[in-house]
């Protein structure tokens, strides 16, 4: 057993500062230091978050209005998908409270209605029937006040903001960081010749895993990435009133997809692709054409290669990996910052007893494995089930072999529908059962008829009536600032 009174976080990007925010918020007994290089060049084109980000800000007692203004933030109610299943089609994945209403929700019932009467109930009408946010967000590009929300933020500005806010975290700058070990563990960090030590080290150094690799050989889990390259930039608005929207947009193309993250002053965007199907020059050309050659004439772009590897055991010895050090899948579904917060949250929970041992490490690693598999499966389904066959990229994605785990999962969902009854709750799942229903609906996923208790059926029918009767209110996204993260009504 090892007592934990001090932690050193290595890495000055968003992962490092989010880890510092989580640990200082939930483990105030810790002495926390953060090591960052004097020269640091993050990508910083804009970040799309999930609802846990706002909850973290609230738990940390951060003034949301001040943060919102300082970090160029905008409201996000979900993700709008275009051309993923077929060109010309779209679908909506909102933040929703429906999964909290029971095992058989209005979303489940609507899928059963599609089976019973497909002429009256359709996959196209599912989103407007089940999610009040669809009308306001998708049709009118307004914020739905009933919806749960997250934020779009400037990645560079949030790290500056957290550094100013977390005055209790000591920042150590260094040109060179070396790691000393003893008995298979980190004994000290050597920063430009001076030594710093702690009871636990958090590696936020990205794919290099500069600290972790000194105490363990990374056990990389095999995962075949759908995409592995991106070209990204900060895109200027031409007409902010017309172009701003309360959602992240994911627009599928011949060889990949483009993300659009509208901030207050600009648009964070990137074209994601796989290097086997698209060259670097072609990707940049297509990205500039997407936004308009004239608009992009003086815009500098960045080319990014990313590793979709994940660690089987992200906590080894006295080093925990958080952020890209632990792993990454791809930008789809905004799991980057969510992965960081989930990792840091779980670590904070386990450190609440002020110690760790082998059992604590094993629990952490097993929990994160469940999370990683859920992210992989959820992302893969967007590609696997697509009806697109118009390019070599899509023909490969829709015909290649996916993990047997995903195949078995989809068989189970076809029989029973995704619900809290067939989704193990011991681990921190990344996506709830209604999120799975939303995505599978877009690909016309075929469920089987299930036996539903009359009471559950009546409750779901009443829920659909309430949703249909609810006012479709909307707020101009430029005039909407979050004040809290309350439980959403729909």
> pLDDT-derived band of residue 426, with 50, 70 and 90 as boundaries?
low
Query: Mean pLDDT across the stretch 154-163?
Result: 94
Query: Mean pLDDT across the stretch 471-484?
Result: 84
Neighbours of 387 (CB within 10 A): 14
Q: Tell me the pLDDT of the chain averaged across its residues.
A: 93
pTM of the predicted model as reported, rounded to 2 decimal places = 0.94
Which tens digit of pLDDT belongs to each residue from 184-223? 999 999 999 899 999 999 999 999 999 999 999 999 998 9
Predicted pLDDT of residue 307: 85
> pLDDT-derived band of residue 135, with 50, 70 and 90 as boundaries?
very high
The domain limits of the chain are 2-74+151-221+311-356, 100-142+381-470, 229-305
Which tens digit of pLDDT belongs to each residue from 380-392? 999 999 999 999 9
Query: Mean pLDDT across the stretch 119-148?
Result: 94
Query: Mean pLDDT across the stretch 145-154?
Result: 90
Which tens digit of pLDDT belongs to each residue from 84-109? 999 999 999 999 999 999 999 999 99
**Is the pLDDT reported for residue 427 higher than 80?**
no
Query: Mean pLDDT across the stretch 142-156?
Result: 91
Query: Mean pLDDT across the stretch 10-28?
Result: 96
**Is the pLDDT reported for residue 359 higher than 90?**
yes
Q: What architecture does CATH give domain 2-74+151-221+311-356? A: 3-Layer(bba) Sandwich (3.50)
Predicted pLDDT of residue 430: 86
Predicted pLDDT of residue 41: 65
H, E, C per residue of the chain: CEECCEEEEECCCHHHHHHHHHHHHHCCCCEEEEEEECCCCCCCCCEECCHHHHHHHHHCCCCHHHHHHHCCCEEECEEEEECCCCCCCEEEEECCCHHHHCCCCHHHHHHHHHHHCCCCCCHHHHHHHHCCHHHHHHHHCCECCCCCCEEEECHHHHHHHHHHHCCCCEEEEECCEEEEEECCEEEEEEECCEEECCCEEEECCHHHCCCHHHCCCCCEECCCCCCCEEEEEEECCCCHHHHCCCCEEEEEECCEEEEEEECCCCEEEEEEECCCCCCHHHHHHHHHHHHCCCCCCCCCCEEEECCCCEECCCEECCEEECHHHCECCCCHHHHHHHHHHHHHHHHHHHHHHCEECHHHHHHHHHHHHHHHHHHHHHHHHHHHCCCCCCCHHHHHHCCCCCCHHHHHHHHHHHHHCCCCCCCCCCCCCCCCHHHHHHHHHHCCCCCCCCCCCHHHHHHHHHHHHHHHHCCCCCECHHHCCCCCCCCCCC
Predicted pLDDT of residue 486: 46
**Is the pLDDT reported for residue 115 higher than 80?**
yes
Which tens digit of pLDDT belongs to each residue from 323-339? 999 999 999 999 999 99
Predicted pLDDT of residue 114: 98
Neighbours of 189 (CB within 10 A): 23
**Is the pLDDT reported for residue 274 higher than 70?**
yes
Q: For residue 91, which of 457, 386, 411 has the smallest C-alpha distance?
A: 386
> pLDDT-derived band of residue 485, with 50, 70 and 90 as boundaries?
low
Query: Mean pLDDT across the stretch 148-153?
Result: 93
């Amino acid at each position: 057993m090892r007592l934990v009174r001090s932690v050193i976080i290595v890495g000055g990007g968003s992962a490092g500062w989010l880890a510092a925010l989580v640990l200082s918020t939930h483990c105030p007994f810790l002495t926390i230091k953060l090591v960052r290089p004097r020269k640091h060049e993050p990508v910083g084109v804009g970040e799309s978050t999930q609802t846990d980000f706002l909850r973290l800000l609230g738990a940390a007692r951060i003034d949301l209005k001040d943060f919102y203004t300082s970090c160029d933030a905008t409201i996000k109610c979900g993700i709008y998908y275009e051309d993923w299943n077929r060109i010309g089609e779209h679908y909506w994945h909102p933040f929703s409270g429906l999964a909290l209403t029971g095992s058989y929700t209005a979303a489940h019932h609507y899928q059963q209605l599609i089976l019973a009467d497909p002429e009256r109930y359709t996959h196209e009408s599912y989103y407007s029937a089940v999610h009040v946010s669809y009308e306001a967000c998708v049709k009118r590009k307004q914020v739905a006040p009933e919806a749960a929300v997250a934020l779009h933020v400037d990645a560079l500005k949030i790290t500056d903001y957290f550094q100013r806010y977390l005055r209790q975290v000591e920042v150590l700058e260094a040109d060179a960081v070396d790691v000393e070990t003893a008995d298979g563990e980190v004994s000290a960090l050597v920063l430009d010749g001076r030594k710093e030590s702690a009871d636990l080290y958090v590696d936020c150094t990205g794919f290099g895993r500069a600290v972790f690799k000194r105490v363990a050989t990374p056990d990389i889990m095999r995962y075949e990435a759908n995409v592995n390259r991106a070209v990204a930039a900060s895109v200027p608005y031409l007409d902010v009133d017309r172009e701003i929207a309360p959602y992240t947009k994911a627009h599928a193309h011949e060889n990949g997809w483009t993300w659009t993250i509208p901030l207050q002053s600009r648009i964070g965007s990137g074209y994601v692709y796989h290097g086997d199907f698209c060259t670097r020059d072609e990707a940049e050309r297509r990205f500039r054409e997407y936004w308009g050659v004239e608009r992009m004439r003086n815009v500098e772009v960045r080319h990014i290669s990313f590793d979709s590897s994940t660690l089987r055991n992200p906590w080894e010895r006295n080093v925990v990996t958080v952020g890209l050090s632990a792993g990454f899948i791809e930008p789809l579904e905004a799991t980057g910052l969510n992965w960081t917060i989930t990792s840091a949250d779980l670590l904070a929970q386990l450190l609440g007893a002020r110690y760790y041992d082998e059992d604590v490490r094993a629990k952490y690693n097993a929990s994160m494995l469940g999370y990683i598999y859920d992210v992989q499966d959820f992302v893969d389904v967007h590609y696997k089930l697509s009806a697109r066959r118009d390019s070599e990229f899509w023909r490969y994605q829709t015909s290649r072999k996916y993990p047997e785990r995903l195949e078995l999962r989809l068989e189970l969902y076809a029989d029973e529908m995704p619900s809290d009854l067939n989704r193990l709750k011991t681990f921190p799942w990344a996506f709830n059962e209604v999120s799975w229903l939303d995505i599978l609906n877009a690909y016309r996923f075929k469920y089987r008829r299930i036996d539903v208790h009359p009471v559950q059926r009546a409750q779901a029918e009443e829920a659909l009536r309430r949703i249909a009767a609810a006012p479709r209110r909307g707020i101009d996204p430029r005039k909407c600032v979050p004040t809290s993260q309350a439980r959403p009504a729909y």
